[in-house]
Copies of this chain bind each other. A is one copy, B any other.
Amino acid sequence: MQAVCLRRIPRGMPQAQDFKLRQLPLPAVGDGQLRMQVQWLSLDPFLRAQLGGRYAVPRPPLGSIVPGYGIGTVVEDRSGCFAAGDVVSGLTGWAEQAVLDAKVVSRVDTALAPVSTAVGVLGIPGLTAWAGVRRILEPKPGQTILVSTAAGAVGSTVGQLCKAAGCRVIGIAGSARKCAIVVEQYGFDACVNYRDADFPQALRNACPDGVDGYFDNVGGAVLEAALSLLRLHARVVLCGLSDQYNRAERPPGPNLGPVIAARARLEGLVVYDHLADFDRCRGELARMIGDGTLRYHEHIHDGLANAPAGFIGLLNGDNLGKALVRL
C-alpha cells in the first residue's frame, strides 16, 4: 500500500521534503482488529503542533506514517464488531489502508450527512466547537461573541452555534475572501481580516461594545487584540495556538492585565476530554445541518500524494473550509 511517512521533523513552516510517499507492506490484522480501506483523510492544524512535540499526544517517530484521522470502509474484520463494507473513522494515518483496534474505531452513520463530515463538522472539529460553546462560552441571547479562524471547520461551527443561540457573532479570518464567506455563507454579523494593517482598530470598530465571549485558536497578536475587547465577566476559550505552531521558540503571550480588568475567565479546551458528549453533539449538529442552520465547506485535495501540499496549504491559510484528502 502507499503511505506518506515523516521524513524529518519540520522546522518552521513544513516543506514537501519533510514527507515521503512510500510503498509499504500491508499490515496484518490481529484479533480484535479490522482493516479499512481509507477514502478520506482529515488535515488538521493540530498535526503541526504534534510534529513539534507540543500536543496532547506524542510526536510520531521519524519514518512512521504521518498520523491523522481518516474515514474508510471495513475490508476485513477480526473483532466481531464490524462487517465488511461498514463505514468507519479512526486514526488511520496518511495511508491507503489501516489496521486499527476495533475499540478505537467509530462507526459512521451514513444517514446523518455525507461521510466526509465524520472528520469535519460531525467529527473532532465539530466536537471541539460544540464543547467550547456549550461548556465554556455558554452564550446568551444578545451577547457578542468573537471567533477566530472563523472560516475554518471549528470556527465556522462555533459562530453558527452562537448565532443559533441568539448572539451577535464577529469572525476573524485571514483573507478578504474568507471574511466574505464567513458573513455570506455562515451568517456571521461581521468578519475582520487579521492580516490587514489596521486589524486591531477594525476589530474594535466591529465590536464597539466589546465582547462577552471569545473562541481562540490562534494566540499571539489576535488573542491580544481580543483580550482588549473583553466585557465584564467575559469568557475565553483557549483552544489552539496556530500563531506559534511553526516557531521553534514559544513566544510570550499577551499581557493579562485586561483579564483582571474584565474579571474574565480564560479556560483551556482539549477536545478529547469531551468524547463522552460526542453522540449528543453529533446529533445536535446533524439536526442543524438538516434544517439548514449549520453550513460547512470542504476543501478537497485529490490523491494521497497531495496530502503534504494540502497540509502545508492549510498552515498557510490557503484552504477554504475543512481540509480533506480524497483517496
Contact of A238 among B238, B241, B260 (CB under 8 A): B260
Interface check A11, CB cutoff 8 A? no
Find A255's partner among B252, B264, B267, B269 (CB 8 Å cutoff). B252
Contact B260 A241 (CB under 8 A): yes
- A146 in the interface, Cβ–Cβ < 8 Å? no
Say yes or no: B263 contacts A259, CB within 8 Å: no
A164 in contact (CB, < 8 A): no
Contact B266 A270 (CB under 8 A): no
Instruction: Please pick, from B54, B252, B262, B267, the residue contacting A253 in the complex, using a CB distance under 8 A.
Output: B252
- Interface SS of A by simple majority: loop
A264–B259 touching, CB < 8 Å: no
CB of A265 closer than 8 Å to a CB of B: yes
The interface residues of chain B lying within 8 Å CB-to-CB of A273 are 263
Q: Work out how many copies of this chain go into the complex.
A: 2
* Chain B residues within 8 Å of A269, by CB: 260, 263
**Which residues from chain B contact A264 at a C-beta distance below 8 Å?**
267-268
Q: Which residues of B contact A262 (CB under 8 A)?
A: 268
- Chain B residue with minimal CB distance to A251? B255
Chain B residue, CB-CB nearest to A234: B268
Q: Does A254 contact B (CB under 8 A)?
A: yes
Q: By the criterion CB–CB under 8 Å, are B265 and A239 in contact?
A: no
A219 within 8 Å of B by Cβ? yes
Q: Mark A179-217, 1 if CB is under 8 A from B, else 0.
A: 000000000000000000000000000000000000000
Sorted from nearest, which 9 A-B pairs have the closest CB atoms?
A252-B252, A260-B268, A266-B266, A259-B268, A250-B255, A253-B253, A253-B256, A265-B267, A263-B268
A241-B260, A260-B270, A263-B273 given; 9 more Cβ-contact pairs under 8 Å:
A219-B256, A223-B256, A238-B260, A250-B255, A251-B255, A256-B266, A264-B267, A266-B266, A266-B267
